[in-house]
Amino acid sequence: MENKKVLLGMSGGVDSSVSALLLKKQGYEVIGATMELFCGSSCCNVNTYIDAKNVCNSIGIPHFTYDYKGEFKKYVIDDFINCYANCKTPNPCIECNKYMKFGLMYEKAKELGCNYIATGHYAKTEYSEKYGRWVLKKSNAGRKDQSYVLWNIPKELIEHVLFPLADFESKDEIREIARESNLKVANKPDSEDICFVPDGNYKRFLEENSDIKPNPGNIVNSKGEVLGRHNGLYNYTIGQRKGLGISYKEPLFVLGFDKETNEVIVGTEEELYSKEILVGDINLLLVDEVKEPMQVDVKTRYTSKVAKATIEQIEDDKIKVIFDEPQRAITPGQSAVFYVDDIVLGGGKII
């Protein structure tokens, strides 16, 4: 008989709460789990646990809280700090998914005798006859699809992951289900910020929690001409135009950084575009390796549209991406995620 026991990650929000409800209706034996990750954050305070526990009580499933603050600091916060220290722009949700939700939580699920883990992400898993394996796909949620932040999960896990919200097209549908079922979190607002930087001020977070401090230096153009001064490399992002404090004959944008000389490099809009990039730390889900150049769709930010490109695996852990059309403000540290139609082929970190 199939083991239909599932450990569901619950944040106290409406998505994971409705996921619990749907899984129970589908006949799964659901256990709710809330991970304690960071003191005082939007996703990790007393109200989070109370909301998650209340939802579990109201639909009649057990709920447990697990303290993973040490692991979260090691895998997510330290990586966040390290990226900024090395002039990269991180996406902490991707690290959290890999190490916490689809790493430690899956280990906990096995301990509890569960065959599955589930989350309230908008994504989809299914078995593909064409590829002869389980695949991760885009959900039906359009712009709210979250497959981009899941490229880094271990591929052997895909058949053990359930995404109950895969087929919903809007958040309004989810809230309506919550209201009909009298869940108190039905109108709870979405959390938009990085969970451990709830006020959105990541610069202050870095200054208070790391050795990163204001270290003034020169702002130069791509020819090396000094155009102004900056107050610390971490205060700037690629593509930034405002707040540079430079007057010049045409608009200037941040193109990149030179850590050795402590310089912010700026240039024209034209110089912001890249035709090809290198991607490292790769994780391939659909194939074991890219044996020959492949045409794919690529997303280089969660909010960006897909772009047509050819990918070529040049080392075990490195892929070259050549875009059909040059792409604007490609940012090291962000993820490039490769799609074949609606299926996630894999992804990696932009170098």
Catalytic residues: 96, 195
Q: How far is CA 311 from the centre of its chain?
A: 21
Q: Rounded to whole angstroms, how far apart are CA atoms 277 and 350?
A: 7
Cα–Cα distance list, 16 to 30, 162, 189, 285 (Å): 12, 12, 13, 25
Distance in angstroms (rounded) separating the CA atoms of residues 342 and 297: 9
Return the SS3 of 124. strand
Q: Are 277 and 238 in contact (CB under 8 A)?
A: no
**Contact of 128 with 135, CB cutoff 8 Å:** yes
Give 188-209 as a DSSP string. Answer: PPPP-S-TT-TTS-HHHHHHHH
C-alpha span between 113 and 4 (Å, rounded): 10
DSSP three-state, residue 79: helix
3-state secondary structure of 235: helix
